[in-house]
Structure 1
Amino acid sequence: MSTNPETTRTASTPGPARRDRDPAVVGVPNPAASRSRTWPRVAAMVAGFAVVMIVSNSIASALAHPVAALAVGPVLAALMLWLYRFAVQRIERRPAVELAPTNASRRVLAGFAGGFLLAAATIGVLAAVGSYRIVGWGSVPGALTVVGMMAAVAVAEEVLFRGVIFRLVQGRWGTWIALGVSGVLFGAVHLLNPGATLWGAAAIATEAGLLLGAAYVATGSLWLPIGLHLGWNITIAAIFGTVTSGSGARDALVTAITPGPAWLTGGDFGPEAGIVAIAVCAAAAAVLLVIAHRRGRLVGRRGRLVGRRPSATQPSEG
């Protein structure tokens, strides 16, 4: 057992120790380090994972056969998770507790179910008002190809935007600024898609950026946002056959059209740019943020946990 005096001191200090151990609020690599030592590492981590995400998503998007997609997509996802753990251990010198295996499968499945329900609710509302209609059968192999591709995409984007950007910004400036920064950057990267629009990027920043960030804060884990992201993308693209984030329609289980005004259907960007998806996802994000507040996981501007209820073994933080 280590007898490092710094470790002993931190463990004996209730406030900071709880904050450092809480994966939802793990911030910069070493909060006590000087800015000159810390921020170059942070910048390198953000830039490095941005490049890795672009490469991973490019490879995944090029997969055109279901066997290749189902084989390569999960491998890319696994490599991204391994690289994140490695980087956290080497750069931040701590275990990647936000990817702890405890309850990992349960959280991924819960997230997937949540993403499916949110996407299905969005399509259901559009169908009820005549703005979604199935016009034919699609392709099972095509849908499986999308599933494999989305496995890589969901993991790569969550690692970068929630695991790296959101987490580090929250550790320095608090939850609300982190939600704004990570959401804006998440929306901006979708401007690279073929059918992208400024409105679509703003919608993605509002609905997905807020929802996925809230999912991370509520659990202190990347598994729930990964599941949500994957469930939403597969449901929208592979099951209901609509455009996803302006990247164009792919083969799905059904062939569908979305007639109606762009503000409702999302137009060429897909349902994610429509008012229905924004409302549905914003409502879910609000629920998750309430849960995060009740669990004391929201972080204020000065790094203080907000909303944690005091207990007999845990003194109040005021």
Structure 2
Amino acid sequence: MEQEETIQQEEPKRGAHVLFSLGIYIVAFLFLSLVFSMLVYIVLGFPDTGSFTLNQYVVIQFATLLAAVLPACFILKYFDNRPLSDLGLSVKGRGKDFLYGLLAAIFLYGVGFGLSLALGEVKVVGIHLDATDLAVGFVFYILVAFTEEIMVRGYILGRLLRTRLNKFLSLGISSVIFSLMHFFNPNVAFLPMLNLVLAGCLLGVAFLYTRNLWFPISLHLFWNWLQGPILGYKVSGTSLSSSLLELQLPENNILNGGTFGFEGSIICTALMVFMIGAIVWYFERKNAKFTTEDTEGTEF
């Protein structure tokens, strides 16, 4: 991850203004989600909820992405008087961030899945290669990553960081909101909810220092894609298509995550805590180095 050369230090907005704009955003998102979902249902011919195909899920998720992005852009420009670049989607010089997100996801599942196999908490009982499902699943999780990162990190966390709140408190608030978005997922329980809060922290912690979304978008994308379509876990309690590996869990417990997927496991908890600490250490150390160099270069 690369740190932004400069993060503008501006007079923080009043908390009331920020909370009001966040309220407008959430209401607008819910309204547009309802409108777009109705339109999608009409186009798809009112299918039963349990009978959606993977391609139909892609269409639904695209509509959700629009519901998240459109009000964010409108409120930023006409209410907050902020540039759209505040959403953190600047691509200049961010190629390494996308690569680091991929590597972080590989580390998370390489270690986590490896430990689960070694402990006998999961078994691979089959391999099924369906290139179409893998490709469509990849597109679906791209849309999921953009939707949730623009909404939770780009807009919500970005607005909170312009208040007088401590940056880590802002991260915590946005992470709780992120977890609550998954509250009605199948098989949710205390440990999965805790892990979703930690996942929000992991996805958002680099944004505190870079104000850029390409690392969390990449990590979010490959986190979901590796977990579900590749390894065969459920993704936050849901399964949308066939997977490359067919897994068998000897029993459902906190080591393998049970019916919620790897995100419901204590192995995932430990790995996320480690990765959050490593990212904070990296940027705080880098900030301290810059501060020292600036001080040494100052003449009195």
- The alignment's TM-score, normalised by the length of structure 1, stands at 0.74
Deviations 1:139-162 (A, max 9, x none): 332222321211111111111221
Gaps of 5+ in 1: 1-18, 297-305
User: Deviation string for 1:73-123 (max 9, x for gaps)?
Assistant: 679758855764454233322222422121234322321232132122211
Deviation of residue 242 (structure 1)?
Answer: 0.7
- Counterparts in 2 of 1:209-220, with a 5 A limit? 209-220=200-211
Q: Would you say the 8 A contact 1:218–1:289 is kept in 2?
A: no
Q: Give the equivalent residue in structure 2 for 1:178.
A: 170
Map of 2:97 onto structure 1 = 107
CA contact (8 A) 1:150 1:234 kept: yes
The counterpart of 1:119, out of the listed 97, 109, 120, is 109
| C-alpha displacement of 1:289 | 0.9
Give the superposition deviation at 1:40.
2.1
Alignment CA distance shift 1:160-1:70 (3 Å): closer
SS at structure 2 position matched to 1:191 = coil
Do 1:56 and 1:152's aligned partners in 2 also have CA atoms closer than 8 Å? no
1:31 corresponds to 2:22: no
Match of 1:302 in 2: none
- Count of residue pairs brought into register by the alignment: 280
Residue 184 of structure 1 deviates from its aligned partner by: 1.8
Change (3 A) 1:42 1:83: closer
Are residues 77 and 116 of structure 1, via their aligned partners in 2, closer, same or farther at CA, if it must alter by over 3 Å? farther
Query: Does the aligned pair in 2 maintain the 1:240–1:254 contact within 8 Å?
Result: yes
Q: Secondary structure at the match of 1:103?
A: coil
The range that moved more, 286-295 or 41-50, is: 41-50
Residues in 2 aligned to 1:203 and 1:104: alpha-carbon distance in whole angstroms: 27
Structure 1 equivalent of residue 192 of structure 2: 200
Percent same amino acid among aligned pairs? 22
**1:209 is paired with a residue of what secondary structure?**
helix
Task: Mark the CA change 1:310 to 1:155 in structure 2 (over 3 Å): closer, same or farther.
Answer: same
What RMSD over aligned residues (CA atoms) do the two structures have, in Å? 3.5
Tell me the distance in 2 between the aligned counterparts of 1:214 and 1:144. 29
Partner of 1:48: 28
Matched residue, 1:64: 53
Corresponding residue to 1:137 among 93, 117, 127: 127
Gaps of 5+ in 2: 41-48
Normalising by structure 2, we get a TM-score of 0.78
2:162 aligned counterpart, secondary structure: helix
Q: Which amino acid aligns with 1:167?
A: G
Residue equivalent to 1:268: 259
Q: What secondary structure sits across from 1:119 in the alignment?
A: helix
- The answer to whether structure 1 residue 157 and structure 2 residue 157 are counterparts is no
User: What residue number does 1:230 align with?
Assistant: 221
The CA deviation at 1:285 is 1.0
Give the residue type in structure 1 aligned to 2:125.
V
Output the CA distance in 2 between the equivalents of 1:72 and 1:117. 31
Asked if 2 retains the 8 angstrom alpha-carbon contact of 1:194 and 1:248, the reply is no
- After superposition, the C-alpha distances for 1:37-67 in whole angstroms (9 at most, x for unaligned) are 55422321244346667888997x986256x
What is the alpha-carbon distance in structure 1 between the residues aligned to residue 82 and residue 160 of structure 2? 18
Distance change >3 Å, CA 193–CA 111, structure 1 → 2: same
Letter matched to residue 53 of structure 2: A
Alpha-carbon separation, structure 1, partners of 2:152 and 2:210: 16
Separation of aligned partners in 2, 1:57 and 1:279: 37
Distance change in 2, residues 1:184/1:35 (3 Å) = closer
Contact in 1 for aligned 2:33/2:64 (Cα 8 Å): no
Deviation at 1:244, TM superposition (A): 1.0
Q: Does 1:309 align with 2:291?
A: yes
* Corresponding position of 1:301: none
- 2:116 and 2:149 mapped to 1: Cα distance? 27
Counterpart of 1:192, as a letter, is F
Correspondence for 1:6: none
